[in-house]
Amino acid sequence: MAQAEGTPDVPDMGRRQFMNLLTFGTVTGVALGALYPVVNYFIPPSSGGTGGGVTAKDALGNDIIVSDFVANHNPGERTLAQGLKGDPTYVVIEEDQTLANYGLNAVCTHLGCVVPWNGSENKFICPCHGSQYNSTGKVVRGPAPLSLALVHANVSDD
């Protein structure tokens, strides 16, 4: 049998070339591993599945039925409810006798006290350190650094 003479198709890799390739591969792997969290930080999370809504509950733990609730409360009134975003939340009755599509988180942004609604002064007044919020939850006075958080609410008739 005859053997092919000449240079082989794949040249031999020398020791130095192998070490250079190994070093380059290691550095590249470490760099990509370090960059992954940085790149992942800038990619917004996928919304995933949409969960069902949470029904607001009154002080006794009963579901809030819009028609009954509006009939028993005055326009402009804020009533404490449970079940929205985990914190106590004020449900707002609009001037046209409808339920607002937002609620006001009742937790003070200063130290986390629950802020009661003062209907006679038409504002929220924190009993802990005297922070005051207007009827829409914006800071009027006091040590609170931020306004009360808004909670989005979908109002349905059933």
The pLDDT tens digits of the residues spanning 19-42 come to 999 999 999 999 999 999 988 888
Burial category of 114 from C-beta neighbours within 10 Å (exposed 0-12, middle 13-18, buried 19 and up) = middle
Contacts of 64 (CB under 8 A, 6+ apart): 55, 56, 57, 58, 81, 91
Indicate the CATH number for domain 66-152. Answer: 2.102.10.10
The pLDDT tens digits of the residues spanning 32-86 come to 999 999 888 888 776 554 555 567 777 667 777 777 777 787 787 888 777 666 6
Q: How far apart are CA 47 and CA 66, in angstroms?
A: 29
Residue 22: its pLDDT value, please?
A: 94
Q: What tokens appear for 119 in the block?
A: 């209907």
Per the CB < 8 A criterion, the answer to whether 25 and 33 are in contact is: no
Give the pTM.
0.57
Q: How far apart are CA 114 and CA 108, in angstroms?
A: 6
Is residue 144's pLDDT more than 60? yes
